[in-house]
Amino acid sequence: MTTSITIAHLSDVHLGPIAGFTPRYWNLKRALGYANWLRHRRHLYQRPVLDRLLEDLASQHPDHVAVTGDLVNIGLPQEHIQALAWLESIGAPAQVTVIPGNHDIYSWLGSDPGSTRWAPYMASDAEGSAHAGDHTEAFPFVRMLGLGASKVALIGVNSAVPTPPLVASGLVGERQLARVAAILERLDRLEVFRLVLIHHPPLPGQARRYRDLEDAAGFEEVLSRHGAELVIHGHNHRSTLDWCATAAGEVPVVGAPSAALGRPYKREPLARYNLYRIGGPPWTIELIGRGLEEEGGRIVEVERRHAVDALEPDVLLGERDLDLLAEDLRVEQVLHADSEPCRLVGVARADPALRRADLQVAQAALDSLVDRDVPRHHQVRFPGEEHDRGRHAARLELVDLRQEHLRVDHATGADHARLAGDHSARDLADLERLALDDDRVARVRATLVAADDIRVLGEQIDDLALPLVPPLRADDDRCGHVRAV
């Protein structure tokens, strides 16, 4: 008879207030982070909300609590001290595991120990140390949970490194990746449930550039080759489910949102934590999400999923049609089409849709494909008129672009030239120097959504949106350049 093990997953709590920001720790990155906290984060990530979530978590009686980073804001010593007290309030190191996030290892600290103050909560236990390998390195570490055949190995990976201003990317590094591969291989032979903890989303394409895991391709290769039963992460402040293909099947990769967000912000879900009920072998996973029903509302179950086999995504079923279901990459239906076409940069007459939340994962899957086919201003060549004798209109004819109609999208041409046609060599009139800012490309284009005013102290630019840019209207026909006198 097998018993289940329940693991609670918290992430990105961003504990406040910020204290100890003395001149010794001043630099540009921290100054920008502190300004962002004053302007936004202190109002969004609320300790009372987090405390309520922890009370609800305790009522669920999990066997262990895993925290996947970003406990603090700008990586100050006093913040690390406060975070240690918070960890101790949850439980002893035997009941709680933590890994650092990019806000925890934020910038230079000199000789201060920083997040290593949490070492009792991010170190191998007695049984796990036998599988961790190199004991001179802090990461990865291994902790073993459960008894008998039903054992879960927690593998803590560090992706947090100090980064320049406005950069929040992570890096595992070749040496740590090699140790992770060896640990996964050893534990696979023991037939234990391998649960990997990492802060940054570990697969390519899961986060934007400068916020992503720089060696995500290497991590994916290790995971594909050696396998795991479950990977959990934070960082994106989203509820996500992705899959990594292995020889034995597909590994679920689950992202948790912030456990402290008390007010609606962008497309982030309100404060939430996950419970993973693991049974077997053969391994099964039940995912239960609990969080705020609404701002200031009750903490309720917002999602429940069952996996009959941990490596069989096709049998993963959602019992309720809630937000995370729409973000499962296996769901090929837009459940909540966007949105408000306001504040789109460089888009005319976007196709309106229902005023509901955009499908985050559809964007993630499509934006690179769309972006690949969209011409940049420095790449634009307008198909112009073919000219007898190989002449170029831009060289032979004066034009007054100041008087041209702003919606014209075709090249100027001499009056005696033929209409433009297909040319096998693509030798078309080149008007790159005369191109207007509005390319008038009738296609789906990746456009920029400004989440807030873009200033030195402003918000980061948000994700790409995918509005439909319609073709020219009928009344735009027969427009032409005005010949200079």
Contact predicate 127/154, CB 8 Å: no
pLDDT score for 373: 54
Instruction: Break the chain into its structural domains and give their ranges.
Output: 5-327, 335-374+441-485, 383-434
Distant-in-sequence, close-in-space partners of 222: CB < 8 Å, separation ≥ 6: 177, 180, 181, 184
What pLDDT, on a 0 to 100 scale, did the predictor assign at position 55?
Answer: 98
State residue 257's pLDDT score.
Answer: 98
Three-state secondary structure call for residue 417: coil
pLDDT at 470: 45
Angle between helices 174-190 and 216-226 (to 10 degrees): 20
| Cβ-based neighbours of 484, under 8 Å, separated by 6 or more | 398, 399, 400
Tokens of 202: 């570990």
Q: Which of 354, 412, 351 is nearest to 387 (CA)?
A: 412
Q: What residue spans of 73-215 are helical by DSSP H? A: 77-90, 129-132, 174-190
Q: What is the pLDDT along the chain (485 residues), one digit of tens a residue?
A: 568 999 999 999 999 999 999 999 999 999 999 999 999 999 999 999 999 999 999 999 999 999 999 999 999 999 999 999 999 999 999 999 999 999 999 999 999 999 999 999 999 999 999 999 877 899 999 999 998 888 999 999 999 999 999 999 999 999 999 999 999 999 999 999 999 999 999 999 999 999 999 999 999 999 999 999 999 999 999 999 999 999 889 999 999 999 999 999 999 999 999 999 999 999 999 999 999 999 999 999 999 998 645 555 444 444 433 344 334 434 333 334 444 444 334 434 444 444 444 444 444 445 555 455 555 544 444 444 444 444 444 444 444 444 444 444 444 444 444 444 444 444 444 444 434 444 444 444 444 444 444 344 444 444 444 444 444 444 444 444 444 44
Cα distances (angstroms) measured from residue 425 to each of 75, 343, 422, 485: 58, 41, 9, 34
Q: Give yes or no for a cis peptide into 202 (omega within 30° of 0).
A: no
Separation CA 312–CA 404 (nearest Å): 60
Q: Tokens 């702003």 — which residue?
A: 406
Please tell me the predicted confidence (pLDDT) of residue 371.
53
CATH superfamily of 5-327: Metallo-dependent phosphatases (3.60.21.10)
Please answer whether residues 271 and 291 qualify as being in contact, where contact means their C-beta atoms are separated by less than 8 angstroms.
yes
Residue 9 backbone dihedrals phi, psi, to 5 degrees: -125, 115
Report d(CA 193, CA 280) in Å as an integer. 9
CA distances to 102, 105, 271, 355 from 238, rounded to whole Å, are: 16, 21, 10, 20
Beta strand segments in 192-296, E = 193-197, 230-233, 240-246, 249-255, 272-279, 284-292
Strands (E), 1-157: 5-10, 64-68, 96-99, 141-147, 150-156
Q: What is the dihedral of CA 128, 130, 131, 132, to 10 degrees?
A: 80
pLDDT of residue 134: 76
User: Starting at the edge strand that comes first in sequence, how are the strands of the sheet with 64-68 ordered?
Assistant: 96-99, 64-68, 5-10, 272-279, 284-292, 299-307, 317-318
Q: Which two tokens stand for residue 276?
A: 């993973």
User: What one-character DSSP code corresponds to residue 39?
Assistant: I
Residue 134 CB partners (closer than 8 Å, separation 6+): 179
Identify whether the C-beta of residue 102 lies closer than 8 Å to the C-beta of residue 235.
Answer: yes
- In the sheet with 344-345, reading across from the earlier edge strand, the strands are 344-345, 447-449, 464-465
Question: How far is residue 97's CA from residue 390's CA, in Å, rounded to a whole number?
Answer: 72
DSSP three-state, residue 215: coil
- Amino acid at site 69: G
Structure tokens at 483: 């010949």
- The pTM of this model reads 0.67
Going by C-beta distance under 8 Å and a sequence separation of 6 or more, which residues neighbour residue 378?
none
